[in-house]
Amino acid sequence: MITGNTGFKGSWLSLYLQSLGANVYGYSKSTLSDDSIFLSSGLNELIETKYGDIRDFSEICSYISKIKPNFLFHLAAQPLVRTSYASPLETFETNTLGTANVMESLRLLADECVGVIITSDKSYRNVEWLWGYRENDTLGGADPYSGSKSAAEMVIDSYVKSYFTESECIKIAIARAGNVIGGGDWSSDRIVPDAYRAWYNLDSLVLRNPSATRPWQHVLEPIRGYVELAAKLYDGSISTGEAFNFGPESSDCVSVGEIVSELSKTWHANLAKIEINSKANNMKESGLLRLNCDKSLDMLGWKSALDYRKSVEMTASWYEFYYNNRNKKEIFNFTELQMKKYLKEIVE
């Protein structure tokens, strides 16, 4: 079961799990744009989805009790920093209370279940130092989104220590991932979809802070990490309550300006216009954020497989295909093909 299965990450995770032979069930909000990857690829016709609000405890608890999932991936969230400034209460309700609702539902579940709870790299109290944050570094957030995610971590920790440490039925792990890119992301105020929307409409992409550095990675990288984490938790290789970072190599932590420049090379000549307007950035955003992923390598055998140029190449080719092919089956096949090529690269 995946909460937030209709979103960008949730859709790729659904496809990934289906490829492994899993029966996938989803729980997500019903407000979707027509160009969402969930709809545009026809995943809505393949995944049984209950449309609801993660803030509604009785509804999510009832659905989890009905499905009795062997594995639960909790992704449902208000995922945008800038939106959190405009809607802080909704952000805390969705990200913190929503997580509490999932944890309580698992507490009441009488069946065995492995839960992978996805929070964020922004759960860390970011002091913008040069080295990557480790899983035992201090949590905390300067904006409502980051605060809601670090608060969610406190909720998870308290449930684990109070109810699940000795549980033979419920096993819990936390996943923190860096900034993801890839085909099918249409969120506002995210650099890749903002770029393609602007360029497709012959507008200029406005950069608020081109020097901001992030741990960019293709969406399939953390997805693979989540699944490997679930497997290790299931077989007892790791303990309940552990947190794991999933991010790229330090050399692939590049600036917004660099990744936009790389994307622009794949678009039509002279049509990829870029402007810089620091005055548009009237909300606090981190300038530097990196993750240390040694723990994921040592305990899960996971490490990033793609450098950022390959990640950009995969991302760009998806959007190019999308704008030239609006057929659901063709978009689904192309998305699935990208996933298979990625998995082949992992094996090699």
Domain range list for the chain: 2-181+216-247+290-347
DSSP 5-56: TTSHHHHHHHHHHHHTT---EEEE-S---TTSHHHHTTGGGTSEEEE--TT-
The most confident of 205-214, 238-247, 324-333, by mean pLDDT? 238-247
Q: What is the pLDDT of residue 61?
A: 98
Whether the per-residue pLDDT at 267 is higher than 90: the answer is no
Q: What is the pLDDT of residue 212?
A: 87
C-alpha gyration radius of the chain: 19
SS3 183: coil
Q: Please report, rounded to a whole number, the percentage of residues in the chain having pLDDT higher than 90.
A: 77
d(CA 205, CA 254): 18
**Which candidate, 25, 47, 24, 19, places its Cα nearest to that of 333?**
19
- The identity of residue 177, as a single letter, is A
Whether the per-residue pLDDT at 269 is higher than 70: the answer is no
In this predicted model, what pLDDT tens digit does every residue of 106-156 receive, in sequence order? 999 999 999 999 999 999 998 888 789 999 999 998 999 999 999 999 999
d(CA 10, CA 30): 14
Whether the per-residue pLDDT at 20 is higher than 80: the answer is yes
Mean pLDDT in residue range 226-242: 97
**Which candidate, 232, 98, 102, 100, places its Cα nearest to that of 158?**
100
- The CATH superfamily holding the domain 2-181+216-247+290-347 is NAD(P)-binding Rossmann-like Domain (3.40.50.720)
Asked if 132 contacts 290 with a C-beta cutoff of 8 angstroms, the reply is yes
**Which residues lie below 8 Å from residue 106, measured CB to CB, with a gap of 6+?**
64, 72, 113, 115, 159, 164, 170, 172
Q: What is the pLDDT of residue 296?
A: 97
Q: Which residue has the tokens 């741990």?
A: 215
Q: How far apart are the first and last CA of the chain?
A: 30
Asked if 135 contacts 96 with a C-beta cutoff of 8 angstroms, the reply is no
**Which candidate, 247, 278, 266, 251, places its Cα nearest to that of 312?**
266
Opening angle at CA 30, ends 28 and 35, nearest 5: 105
d(CA 176, CA 124): 10
Mean pLDDT in residue range 176-189: 91
- Which is higher by pLDDT, 94 or 289? 94
The pair of structure tokens assigned to 193 is: 């979809």
SS3 215: strand
To the nearest whole number, what is the mean pLDDT of the chain?
Answer: 92
pTM for the full predicted model: 0.95
Asked if 93 contacts 50 with a C-beta cutoff of 8 angstroms, the reply is no
Q: What is the pLDDT of residue 26?
A: 98
Asked if 260 contacts 186 with a C-beta cutoff of 8 angstroms, the reply is no
Whether the per-residue pLDDT at 266 is higher than 60: the answer is yes
Q: What is the pLDDT of residue 285?
A: 63
Element of type H or E holding 2? strand 2-3
Element of type H or E holding 316? helix 308-324
Q: What is the pLDDT of residue 36?
A: 87
Q: Length of the chain, please?
A: 348
Q: For the chain, what percentages of helix, strand and coil (3-state, to nearest 5) are there?
A: 45, 15, 35
DSSP 280: G
